[in-house]
Amino acid sequence: MRAAILASALSVAASVNGIAAQAKHTPARAVNVGDSITATVDSLARDPNGVVIERSSVQSGAHTVAAGTTVNGSIASWHGPLDVRGTVTGNAVALGGDIVVHTGGTVRGDAVALGGHVQLDGGTVQGEMRSLSALTVGPLARTAARTPAQATKRSLSLAVGWYLVLAVIGLFAALFARGNLETIAERIRDDFSRSFLYGVAGQIALLPALVVGIVALCITVIGILLIPFAIVGFVLGGAGALALGFLAMSYVTGEAAMRWRGAVSPYTPPPVVQFLFIGLSLYFVLWMIGGLMSWAGWLGALLRLVAAMVTWVAVTVGFGATLASRGGTRAPSGHVPPPQVPPPVTDASWQTPTPVSGVAAARRPTPPPRSIQR
């Protein structure tokens, strides 16, 4: 299964509308940025590790206090570094960037970097130096310090991390549980819709099943002692079933992609590892595209939503097939294996014995010699 992501402008009219929309929404964007700065300044003032600065002292982008100049009061940069080469009589703050105090630079107040670091490059800070990864008070407590570049890096790191984890699990599954994996994949091919319904029902029933199990264990004293182990085992079992189902769905996806390209031969056994990693890579590409477009606002959010929906459907179908096949131990009922197509007969095929039927190959008949007429 491969989800196609379409994002393009197709006509001159669309371009004109895009330019008009950009001109129309530019003031709203500026207002939103101003509101974000105000909210961040207020949260920074209320944070126990923060500092009080004036809203008027915040400037967007990178800012430099030139050598030989003096800034009376505080100074702050918004999503950009702050280089201090002169003198700041108040506080120096970087909201989403680094503060670097160079040689000859002096900060008489505190130097606070939100989402960055405070670095001394020969300069001096007479107050305190603090580097905050995030605020602990206010509506922007978790997201105020995250720049678009940081959001993109975080999304890509999560995608790469999950891909590596699933790749390792998939390799072990292909080597040590290949039969289970192929049985679940067979269930997905035979009944995709029913596997999806089973998966939805199974996901809904996970929490009630855990609660019922805990209540049942509370009947006896020994059962109460086993509750922590039962919870851990239930969580690991559920996670394993979800992972195995997603790997089986990835295997089916990779096989479908290779079959679409005409690279699947009916006379050779299926390369499970190859199909599995091709399917995982296709899902990984969706998340990579969404992560790379994190800076694009609603477009990036839409791409990540598409990747999440596609992945959820794959996990749900695989989980349902895992439940229906009891972890890949029960093949679909009434399943008849596909007939084996014999290889094409060639002129030299008589030379190869075929012990499958238990009959030895016969000698190839030779025509009688021609009589020579004189």
Residue that the structure tokens 């699933």 belong to: 166
CA dist., res. 331 & res. 325, Å (int) = 6
Whole-model pTM: value is 0.54
Residue that the structure tokens 């020994």 belong to: 222
What would the DSSP string read from start to end of 179-211? Answer: HHHHHHHHHHHH-HHHHHHHHHHHHHHHHHHHH
Closest to 315 measured CA to CA, from 260, 238, 257: 238
Which of 138-152, 178-192, 260-274 has maximum average pLDDT?
Answer: 178-192
- 184-195 average pLDDT score: 92
What's phi and psi for 72, nearest 5 deg? -85, 110
Query: For residues 69-95, b (16+ Cβ closer than 10 Å) or e, as one string?
Result: eebeebbbbbbbbbbbbbbbebbbbbb
On whether the CB atoms of residues 109 and 82 are closer than 8 A, the answer is: no
On whether the CB atoms of residues 61 and 82 are closer than 8 A, the answer is: no
Around Cβ 294, how many Cβ atoms within 10 Å? 22
Residue 344 has pLDDT above 70, yes or no: no
* Burial of residue 107, with CB atoms counted within 10 A of its CB: 0-12 exposed, 13-18 middle, 19 or more buried: buried
On whether the CB atoms of residues 146 and 139 are closer than 8 A, the answer is: no
124: Cβ–Cβ under 8 A, 6 or more apart, which residues? 101, 105, 106, 107
> pLDDT per residue over 275-291, tens digit each?
999 999 999 999 999 88
pLDDT value at residue 144: 45
pLDDT value at residue 37: 80
- 39-53 average pLDDT score: 77
- Break the chain into its structural domains and give their ranges: 34-146, 148-324
On whether the CB atoms of residues 51 and 112 are closer than 8 A, the answer is: yes
